[in-house]
Structure 1
Amino acid sequence: MTTRRQLIARSAALWGATSSGLLLPQLVRAQSDKLRVGFMLPYTGTFAKLGVAIENGFMLALNEQGGKLGGREIEFYKVDDESNPAKGVENANKLVQRDKVDVVIGTVHSGVQMGIHKVARDSGVLNIIPNAGVHAATRALCAPNVYRTSFTNSQPTLALGKAMVERGHKKAVWITWNYAAGEEAMEGFEAGYTAAGGTIIKKLGVPFPNVEFQAMLTEIAALKPDAVACFFAGGGAVKFLKDFKAAGLDKSIQLYGSGFLTEGVLDAAGDAAQGVLTTMHYSDALDIPRNKQFRLDFAKAFKTQPDVYAVQGYDAGQLLIKGANAVKGDLSNKKALYGAMDGASIDSPRGMWTMSKAHNPIQDMYLREVVGKENKVLGVAGKAVEDSGKGCRLG
């Protein structure tokens, strides 16, 4: 693996040789023999931990291949996307125009992803999305060179409604932040819940990133639904879980959510998370050999436990490996490269999944219950759940 110090040293050497007219042919050949992989991920700020987990997962997949892609050595480049949508295009262009990468791995934040997406569509560079669930990337603005290895924002909640109705919870209140991810998660929930025979008696929205929930919880108490379904994540999820319990609603109303409600927050939420039910494409506690081996290998390599973000990074690596191996490392052979990636079946820690025509995973969604410090898997809430890919035209 090329370290940052080595990258800087090589870049300096190249610049010095170029400026003095001494760029050696063998140096040019040595550089061009390597595939260039660019990471555009959050390495600072709120999502920094997620960015590191994704990169580590990706590197684990490559290390299983001897650190090569299609037999070729790799040069790595990194840009901190700062989770700043305003810099999305500028930062993506650093990798594509300045560093001439063959593939961009990124990112977490959906707003930043749309900046990468514009650059990918304009330049034709291969982009693999290891997290951002924004619908447009694999719907109306889909592209032959853009693939996702995570989810769309509506996929986890699409599987939620049937599980709720099967448990007798036929009247529900929906609550989320008023922003794109929340709205897209609501789309999935509404489609799945109403199709299963449930009725949404109220939709509540909170300005993002507001975490003042008291007025909404008072309204929920007055409505007396069978259940509450929601989309929150991170610190907002912790606050909502605690406030829901403090209001006493957990005694009479079952709380459900997209899996991000309880992902990575169980220590912080404590007792407030106990008994909460969610749907997600992964669980740390998923009892399959592939997941057990992945978790063991990841822990050995990085001295920490993997999460869903590490799995998505790992699968981004697996997808790229399948494509690169099919073309023997010649990523310029785009027809064969994309053909291999289009038809990929990924043996993932989350279970086997395949790529949809719109380039989004077709995958199982698991029903999970918080028991102690884990999201215990109760079963499959939705088998081979596929995003609609509405508006995508890839032929």
Structure 2
Amino acid sequence: MKTQLTLAATALLVGTAMTPALAQEKIKLGVIVTLSGPAAALGQQVRDGFALAVKDLGSKMGGRDVEVVVVDDELKPDAAVTKVKGLLERDKVDFVIGPIFSNILQAIHRPVTESKTFLISPNAGPSTFAGKDCNPFFYVTSYQNDQVHEILGKVAQDRGYKRMYLMVPNYQAGKDSVAGFKLDYKGEIVEESYMPLNTLDFQPELSKISSQKPDALFTFMPGGLGVNLVKQYRQAGLADSIPVLSAFTVDESTLPAQQDAAVGMFGGANWAPNLDNPPNKKFVASYEAAYNVVPGTYAFQAYDAAMLIDSAVKAVKGDLSNKDAVQAALKKADFTSLRGTFKFNTNGYPIQDFYLTKVAKRPDGKFQTEIVQKVFENYGDRYAKDCKAAN
């Protein structure tokens, strides 16, 4: 009997261990982000944050070597579709990680998920895939777009700002940002200004803000848009009289260019470099040592995306052939997030804490966002109730 039990246990171990052939096959990860034009700094943070995580993992996931293929979506939906099909068909990647912008995500979502390849977004989280169109092959390590903007709406309401001027880019994430802001804000909106994504000159809008004298400006202007807006806002003399509540306008991707012009401006985020926990402190120090810049949300969310994938690969012992098993492992999110509290909602978007942040200049001369207060705790998005996918 003892011999039989030993043979059975041995057979079980052999059945669950990774085969030598599988162990020799590399896990291929395709990163698609914006790496050209004014928004390149955002994509660079994702690329570098992800690369740092892979390095910290010893370039292995679940015992298998990892190969990362990085492509530039050029912030063009058509180009992004071509690039992502190359990742799927030529490179045969096991996971696609990206993109930055929601319009690019909307373009690549179908070709990736219909190929039954897992798509992990380290930034874009549009409402379109959070509700009834959620997908078991799609997971987000950032947020649902509305949520970050909800922070600023609640802060504006709580601080008694009675008149607000809203200025955002004219695409899906901009529309989501306004919807998010309006959830808690009940005061007067003196104007909603929707700007082209290639706007460089904000003087006409700044003149309107100056004449209408709102209590505060709410804006979402990522990348180069935010750099120009903040500099022109400060130069126009508005920063000292009309506070700025922003999302992705003053953050670690734009602060090296904005510098003193951004100091004192507020933001909303799910994280900040000074978030006080040991893994985050290690991450920030390692990132600054490797790249000589302060990491932003884009970098930390990409780091978490890599750790999420690693947790799933480990859970299935390196065997990615069973898609249902990989999906279940991703859903568990069995890793330590740099933000602390983190779990997936039913729609594959996070439940997490959110903060009001403020731009500060550090003693070493670098600029970073710092936490002012926690605004939402263990907060899930409002679209998850409509998700019927088996996430």
Same fold (TM over 0.5): yes
How far off its partner does 1:301 sit? 4.5
Picking from 108, 118, 143, the partner of 1:116 is 108
User: Aligned ranges for residues 354-393 of structure 1 at < 5 Å?
Assistant: 354-372=343-361, 373-389=367-383, 391-393=386-388
- 1:42 to 1:229, Cα distance in 2 relative to 1, 3 A: closer
Preserved CA contact (<8 Å) 1:355 1:361: yes
CA RMSD of aligned residues (A): 2.5
Corresponding residue to 2:277 among 288, 291, 295: 288
Distance 1:203 1:47 in 2: 23
* Cα gap change, 1:207 to 1:81, in 2 (>3 Å): closer
Given that 1:257 and 1:279 are in contact with CA atoms closer than 8 Å, whether structure 2 keeps it comes out as: yes
Alignment size in residue pairs? 365
Contact 2:118 2:137 in 1 (8 A): yes
What amino acid is aligned across from residue 137 of structure 2 in structure 1?
A: N
Q: How does 1:1-395 map to 2 (within 5 A)?
A: 29=21, 33-194=25-186, 198-302=187-291, 304-344=293-333, 346-372=335-361, 373-389=367-383, 391-395=386-390
CA 1:171 to 1:40, structure 2 compared with 1: closer, same or farther past 3 Å? same
For residue 237 of structure 1, report the CA deviation from its aligned partner.
1.4
Say if 1:367 and 1:335 are closer, same or farther in 2 by CA, change over 3 A. Answer: same
Superposition deviation, residue 31 in structure 1: 9.2
- Measured in 1, the distance between the counterparts of 2:208 and 2:35 equals 39
User: Partner amino acid for 1:221?
Assistant: S
Structure 2 counterpart of 1:394, one-letter code: A
Determine the C-alpha separation between the residues in 1 that align with 2:254 and 2:81: 31
* 1:141 counterpart SS class: coil
Distance 1:247 1:285, change over 3 A: same
More deviation, 73-82/121-130 = 73-82
**Match for 1:295: what amino acid?**
V
List gaps (5 residues or longer) in structure 1. Answer: 1-27
Sequence identity, in percent? 35
Aligned partners of 2:191, 2:73: CA distance in 1, in Å?
37
Give the distance between the partners of 2:90 and 2:270, measured in 1 at CA: 36
CA displacement, residues 264-284 of structure 1 (integer Å, 9 cap, x when unaligned): 223432443222111112222
Give the CA deviation at 1:93. Answer: 1.4
Does the residue aligned with 1:295 lie in a helix, a strand or coil?
A: helix
Q: Distance in 2 between matches of 1:376 and 1:97?
A: 43
What is the TM-score of this pair, normalised by structure 1? 0.84
Contact 1:237 1:262 in 2 (8 A): no
Residues 85 and 115 of structure 1 are in contact (CA less than 8 Å); yes or no, is this contact kept in structure 2? Answer: yes
Q: 1:88 to 1:384 in 2, by over 3 A?
A: same
Gaps of at least 5 residues in structure 2 are 1-19, 362-366
SS at match of 1:164: helix
Shift of 1:32: 6.8
Following the alignment from structure 1 to structure 2, what is the Cα–Cα distance between the partners of residues 59 and 235?
A: 23
Secondary structure at 2:281's aligned position in 1?
Answer: helix
Q: Report the secondary structure of 1:249's partner residue.
A: coil
Shift in Å at residue 41 of structure 1?
2.8
Deviation digits for residues 222-245 of structure 1 (CA, Å, limit 9, x no counterpart): 333221111112222122223323
